[in-house]
Chain A
Amino acid sequence: MTAAVSTSQLSKAFGSHFVLRDITTQVQPGDVVGVIGKNGAGKTTLLETMLGFSPLTSGSVQVFGQDPMAMSAATKARIGFVPQQEELLPTLTGRRQLALNGSFYPRWDNALLERLAREWEVPLERRSGELSGGEKQKLSTLMALGNQPDLLVLDEPVASLDPLARRRFLQQLLEIATDTTRAVIFSSHIVSDLERVANRIWILREGRLLWDGETEKLKQSVQRLHINANRALPANLGVPNTLSERRASNGSSATVTVRDPSPILIDDLAARLDAHVESEGLGLEDIFLEIHA
């Protein structure tokens, strides 16, 4: 099956400043990919470069097997995109915008949009210039869903939504995700949301893809070790793949976050440091914080 998106050594620079470096990855139909990273990590640039809004500097990208800068109309019709900054026409009502947008696509599901608009409480009769930030975001998402996209790309789609709307939106996203012919890529700063729906995670730091893999594997691969020794700990604990290390003021306790710990690490540490070592699994948010610590 053709990958929805595949990139190889993708790099993007503005002038001499590289925003993305050597990104190689694939998104298969059925994947729900959550993209996280600090502000300026390159999330939006990555998503927009993948979709041909921005030419890449080196490497390659393919969307359904085509160069995004030269995608056919049929391929573009398989994509739904919600930009970070809404791009609605403020003088038109939501209903009119949905209808006008629908005129571009051969398969436009009005019934689905009417249902979602009711469920998400989007006032389609009002001009979008008069809508609140959250309502605009919901309308933008509706516009991206109408063509029943095989690849749905959402750039911070829930930033302005209240918790209830976020939950409904994520439920809808899960429904889409259960269809194994579709792929979803979405970025968000609300990591708990990503954890709930994404089966794959991309962590971007300074334009590099720091993690690209299944969410569960990521959570298993990062552990926090609580070390309580009977005597003062040495200056160098000698823990491989340390992400962060915090010591208590008494000098005999420490908390170390490690990546890919070996099965014998805990026993080895306990013996070497004469300490009681406990390991703790971390949530996605903690992992994100540890990685950026």
Chain B
Amino acid sequence: MNSVLRIALTYFYMLPLQRWLNIAGLLLLSCGALMAFLGLPVNGARAVFTLCTFGVTLILLVPSFGGGLAMRLASRPSIVHLRPHGRFKVLLGSTLAMTLVALIAVIPAATTQWFIATSGHGPGSRYPQALETLAFFWPVAAVGWILIFAASRTLLLALAFPLIPMGALQLPVLLQRFPAFRPHNLVAIGASAWLIFGFWYLLGKGAKPAAAPNGAFANPGSGPVQYQWLVGARNEESGENTPARAMACYLLGTSSIRVFVFTGLWLTAIFLGMALLIPSSKPQGGLLLFMLPFLGVNSAIMGFSAARRARLLWLRNGLHRNELFRLTERIALRGPMTTWGIVGGAITVFMLVTQPGSAQTVLTFVAAQCLFAVCLFYTGMALVRNWDASDVALSLGILLLMIIQMIYAHPLGGIPPLQPLITLLVAAVLLLPVRWYAKWRWAGLDWRLIRPPQLDWRRR
């Protein structure tokens, strides 16, 4: 039983970053709970709900989105075959972890309802009930877990990633539109899916290894052979051998822009497809704009990865840290901004066609998000201290800004005209200091502290 409990808890601290996420999450949760306990009328139930929701989101970010992948990684033969009842324990531990995810997700609803009941502030009907929330989250967690487990075997994991926030936002709308998805039906669907998955897991041949455990840091084209033509990996063998090409290969894993164009087109197809197929968001396409801040995370990951991969150029191209910084930003920013440009451009055109009246607001919003994505790139480049307190403070600061501007963007209710302008100004003011800070940190960049992501990959 101890080992099952240990496996379950591991999902909540498997990454070093989770320690900080958990601390920040617990802090926010405590604030929310304290407000509820003291019955403080500041902003009423809304404040309690918002604080608890952000706290819970931070704690559940990794286990809910990474649980399926982590379960596949934990199903290596060395873990499940060499230990008595290994598979059974991993399955039980994962079930427990998933249930914990659902129970923690209930906290905001439960705390808010308790606050309303004891203090009498705010209408209880505006906020979800605890049991309803549990009945919603448990099956969603179960099905999501299974889908990510399945997708982690192939390149689909990377391709399916944008579907997760989009799906999470659309799910309540879908459930409202289709009455068959009532809470008790949902629980039945989730439980059945998990049972079938559990039987397969226990009785099948065993889980195969994950295709790309290093996710976003993998070299483009290092996935299964059959997909490589998509990202132009086969073209890398032709062409001139120049330092420019070599530097791009070392920093990005490819000298071709094709993989970034492909990602942009893929994301555009998903976003526009969902906006057209599910015409429930009001105003139409408002949800699309809401996806742009998420897209900025891609830039942060690229900056983070480039800082590590720049080690590969240190002895090769003869540049000092500062010159290497400038070279890295020049080469590495190109990739995520190509992706961003394609998606942002398509969304802008869609919005201008469907809502010509709000053209100015839309254009300002898109420009602000574009600048914000560049800020996030430099934030990624500045995270070079192996998640010490300064790295964590910077990440949390940027995360907070992102959350604030997302609350202000309020996509489902339309964007107030002044707010994108404020975001644009904030991003513009932020850009130079963040870049300066990243450059300053690079002066003492220590590649013994941060190493390039595992470049190794072998065909399976």
- Contact assessment for B254 and A91 in the assembled complex, using a CB-CB cutoff below 8 Å: yes
Which of A44-52, A175-183, A205-213, A247-255 forms contacts with chain B? A44-52
- Contact assessment for B318 and A90 in the assembled complex, using a CB-CB cutoff below 8 Å: no
**Chain A interfacial residues counted at CB < 8 A:** 39
Q: When chains A and B are docked, how far (Å) is the Cα of A48 from the Cα of B314?
A: 11
Q: When chains A and B are docked, how far (Å) is the Cα of A33 from the Cα of B457?
A: 32
Q: Which residue of B lies closest to A89 (CB)?
A: B249
**Does A79 interact with chain B (Cβ within 8 Å)?**
yes
**Does B459 interact with chain A (Cβ within 8 Å)?**
yes
By CB atoms of chain A within 10 A, which of B228, B242, B249, B254 has the most?
Answer: B249
Contact with B along A74-108 (1 / 0, CB 8 A): 10110101000111111111001001111110000
Can you show 25 pairs from A to B with CB atoms below 8 A apart?
A: A14-B449, A48-B448, A51-B314, A53-B447, A69-B321, A71-B318, A76-B315, A76-B316, A76-B318, A87-B452, A89-B455, A90-B457, A91-B236, A91-B253, A91-B254, A96-B241, A100-B245, A103-B242, A104-B243, A104-B316, A104-B317, A104-B318, A129-B222, A129-B457, A130-B459
**Does A164 interact with chain B (Cβ within 8 Å)?**
no
By CB atoms of chain A within 10 A, which of B315, B316, B446 has the most?
Answer: B315
Enumerate the 4 nearest inter-chain pairs by beta-carbon distance, A residue then B residue, closest first.
A73-B318, A100-B246, A54-B448, A99-B241
Contact with A along B255-274 (1 / 0, CB 8 A): 00000000000000000000
Write out the residue numbers on chain B whose beta carbons fall within 8 Å of the beta carbon of A102: 241
Write out the residue numbers on chain A whose beta carbons fall within 8 Å of the beta carbon of B447: 48, 53-54
- In the complex, what's the smallest C-beta–C-beta distance from A131 to chain B, in angstroms? 8
- In the complex, what's the smallest C-beta–C-beta distance from B410 to chain A, in angstroms? 43
Write out the residue numbers on chain A whose beta carbons fall within 8 Å of the beta carbon of B311: 53, 87
- Contact assessment for B457 and A101 in the assembled complex, using a CB-CB cutoff below 8 Å: no
How many A-B pairs fall under 8 Å by CB? 97
**Does A123 interact with chain B (Cβ within 8 Å)?**
no
Q: Which residue of A lies closest to B231 (CB)?
A: A91
B208-239 CB contacts (< 8 Å) to partner A: 219-222, 228, 233, 236-237
Residues of B within 8 A of A (CB): 219-222, 228, 233, 236-237, 241-243, 245-246, 249-250, 253-254, 311-312, 314-321, 444, 446-449, 451-452, 455-459
- Contact assessment for B312 and A87 in the assembled complex, using a CB-CB cutoff below 8 Å: yes
**Does A55 interact with chain B (Cβ within 8 Å)?**
yes
Q: Which residue of A lies closest to B452 (CB)?
A: A87
Q: When chains A and B are docked, how far (Å) is the Cα of A51 from the Cα of B315?
A: 8
**Does A72 interact with chain B (Cβ within 8 Å)?**
yes
- Contact assessment for A53 and B241 in the assembled complex, using a CB-CB cutoff below 8 Å: no
- Contact assessment for A81 and B315 in the assembled complex, using a CB-CB cutoff below 8 Å: yes
Secondary structure type dominating chain B contacts: loop
Q: Which residue of B lies closest to A95 (CB)?
A: B237
By CB atoms of chain B within 10 A, which of A51, A88, A89, A96 has the most?
Answer: A89
Q: When chains A and B are docked, how far (Å) is the Cα of A100 from the Cα of B452?
A: 19
- In the complex, what's the smallest C-beta–C-beta distance from B317 to chain A, in angstroms? 6
Given contacts A92-B236, A100-B246, A104-B317, contact A85 B219 (CB under 8 A): no
Partner of A89 from B243, B250, B315, B319 at Cβ < 8 Å: B250
Write out the residue numbers on chain B whose beta carbons fall within 8 Å of the beta carbon of A54: 446-449
Q: Which residue of B lies closest to A144 (CB)?
A: B315
**Does A70 interact with chain B (Cβ within 8 Å)?**
yes
- Contact assessment for B455 and A74 in the assembled complex, using a CB-CB cutoff below 8 Å: no
By CB atoms of chain B within 10 A, which of A44, A53, A70, A74 has the most?
Answer: A53
- Contact assessment for B459 and A70 in the assembled complex, using a CB-CB cutoff below 8 Å: no
Write out the residue numbers on chain A whose beta carbons fall within 8 Å of the beta carbon of B242: 103
Q: When chains A and B are docked, how far (Å) is the Cα of A77 from the Cα of B241?
A: 18
Write out the residue numbers on chain B whose beta carbons fall within 8 Å of the beta carbon of A14: 448-449
Given contacts A55-B446, A96-B236, A96-B237, contact A90 B246 (CB under 8 A): no
- In the complex, what's the smallest C-beta–C-beta distance from A151 to chain B, in angstroms? 11
- In the complex, what's the smallest C-beta–C-beta distance from B22 to chain A, in angstroms? 22
- Contact assessment for A89 and B318 in the assembled complex, using a CB-CB cutoff below 8 Å: no
Given contacts A74-B318, A93-B237, contact A53 B448 (CB under 8 A): yes
Q: When chains A and B are docked, how far (Å) is the Cα of A49 from the Cα of B444?
A: 12
Q: When chains A and B are docked, how far (Å) is the Cα of A21 from the Cα of B457?
A: 36
Given contacts A45-B448, A103-B246, contact A90 B455 (CB under 8 A): yes
Given contacts A129-B459, A130-B459, contact A92 B448 (CB under 8 A): no
Write out the residue numbers on chain B whose beta carbons fall within 8 Å of the beta carbon of A100: 241, 245-246, 249
- Contact assessment for B458 and A129 in the assembled complex, using a CB-CB cutoff below 8 Å: yes
Q: When chains A and B are docked, how far (Å) is the Cα of A92 from the Cα of B228?
A: 12
Q: Which residue of A lies closest to B240 (CB)?
A: A103
Write out the residue numbers on chain B whose beta carbons fall within 8 Å of the beta carbon of A87: 311-312, 452, 455
- Contact assessment for B246 and A104 in the assembled complex, using a CB-CB cutoff below 8 Å: yes
- Contact assessment for B219 and A90 in the assembled complex, using a CB-CB cutoff below 8 Å: yes
- Contact assessment for A88 and B455 in the assembled complex, using a CB-CB cutoff below 8 Å: yes
Q: When chains A and B are docked, how far (Å) is the Cα of A101 from the Cα of B317?
A: 10
Known interface pairs A96-B236, A101-B316; 12 further A-B residue pairs with C-beta atoms within 8 A, sorted by A's residue number: A14-B448, A45-B448, A53-B447, A54-B448, A73-B318, A89-B455, A90-B219, A93-B237, A102-B241, A104-B246, A129-B456, A130-B458
Write out the residue numbers on chain B whose beta carbons fall within 8 Å of the beta carbon of A86: 455-456
- In the complex, what's the smallest C-beta–C-beta distance from A274 to chain B, in angstroms? 55
- Contact assessment for A91 and B222 in the assembled complex, using a CB-CB cutoff below 8 Å: yes
- Contact assessment for B221 and A91 in the assembled complex, using a CB-CB cutoff below 8 Å: yes
- In the complex, what's the smallest C-beta–C-beta distance from A155 to chain B, in angstroms? 12
- Contact assessment for A52 and B314 in the assembled complex, using a CB-CB cutoff below 8 Å: yes
Q: When chains A and B are docked, how far (Å) is the Cα of A49 from the Cα of B447?
A: 9
By CB atoms of chain A within 10 A, which of B318, B319, B452 has the most?
Answer: B318
- In the complex, what's the smallest C-beta–C-beta distance from B318 to chain A, in angstroms? 3
Write out the residue numbers on chain B whose beta carbons fall within 8 Å of the beta carbon of A129: 222, 456-459
Q: When chains A and B are docked, how far (Å) is the Cα of A115 from the Cα of B314?
A: 27
Q: When chains A and B are docked, how far (Å) is the Cα of A208 from the Cα of B452?
A: 28
- Contact assessment for A92 and B237 in the assembled complex, using a CB-CB cutoff below 8 Å: yes
Q: When chains A and B are docked, how far (Å) is the Cα of A76 from the Cα of B324?
A: 14
Q: When chains A and B are docked, how far (Å) is the Cα of A99 from the Cα of B451?
A: 24
Partner of B314 from A53, A77, A90, A99 at Cβ < 8 Å: A53
Given contacts A81-B315, A99-B241, A103-B242, contact A89 B219 (CB under 8 A): yes
Write out the residue numbers on chain A whose beta carbons fall within 8 Å of the beta carbon of B219: 89-91
Write out the residue numbers on chain B whose beta carbons fall within 8 Å of the beta carbon of A92: 236-237, 249
Write out the residue numbers on chain A whose beta carbons fall within 8 Å of the beta carbon of B312: 87
